[in-house]
Amino acid sequence: MSLQFPFEYERISPTETLFYPMVTFQIKTVAGWWKMKFLLDTGADFTTLPDSLLPIIGVNPGSLPKVETIGVGGIIVPVRRFRLPLRVGNEELVIQANAVETRGKFSPALLGKKDLFESKFSLTIDSKARLTRIWKN
């Protein structure tokens, strides 16, 4: 199985763009499987999502263990560890993920390495073709 996702990019000046390697997977919500875009973040150990996602997947945040993670600059980020049902192409799996306490504010969906790129899948960020490739090992 091989999946390809075109880069998304933002032009912030006539000569400068920012690109985002976004990938689209499906998450299991209370209303069935839904497509969701994640930013590929190879610097993230765990897939990280806002805590506002938890009601969507039918999880009570109060039931989840609270842990501390460390962000850039040594900032401590409180998160709740949970298991996220995910579909990568046709492959269904459950990955460990973190829900960030956002207090109603925005927090992006980041795809981390755990349970995905340790052994199950491989990836290439192809800057020539301007797409991200993910395939099952």
Partner 1 sequence: MRTTHGINITALTKKYGNQYIAKSEKTGKVLAHNERVDLVFNKVKDKKNIVISWIPKYGTTYVFTISL
List residues binding partner 1 (CB under 8 A).
4, 6-12, 18-20, 22, 24, 29-31, 34-37, 39, 41, 43-46, 48-50, 52-56, 67, 69-72, 77, 79, 98, 102, 104-106, 108-110, 112, 128-131
CB of 122 to partner 1, least distance (A): 17
Q: Which one-letter amino acid corresponds to residue 9?
A: Y
Task: Give Cα 14 distance to the centre of its chain.
Answer: 30
Complex with partner 1: residue 54 or 121, whichever CB lies closer = 54
Half-sphere exposure of 66 (CA within 13 A, CB side): 6
Q: What angle do CA 120, 58, 81 make, to 5 degrees?
A: 55
Complex with partner 1: residue 25 or 121, whichever CB lies closer = 25
CB of 60 to partner 1, least distance (A): 13
Complex with partner 1: residue 73 or 90, whichever CB lies closer = 73
Complex with partner 1: residue 22 or 64, whichever CB lies closer = 22
C-alpha dist (Å) from residue 22 to 8, 13, 16, 67, 130: 7, 21, 19, 27, 11
CB of 68 to partner 1, least distance (A): 9
CB of 66 to partner 1, least distance (A): 13
Tokens of 128: 């020539």
Helices of type H across the chain: none
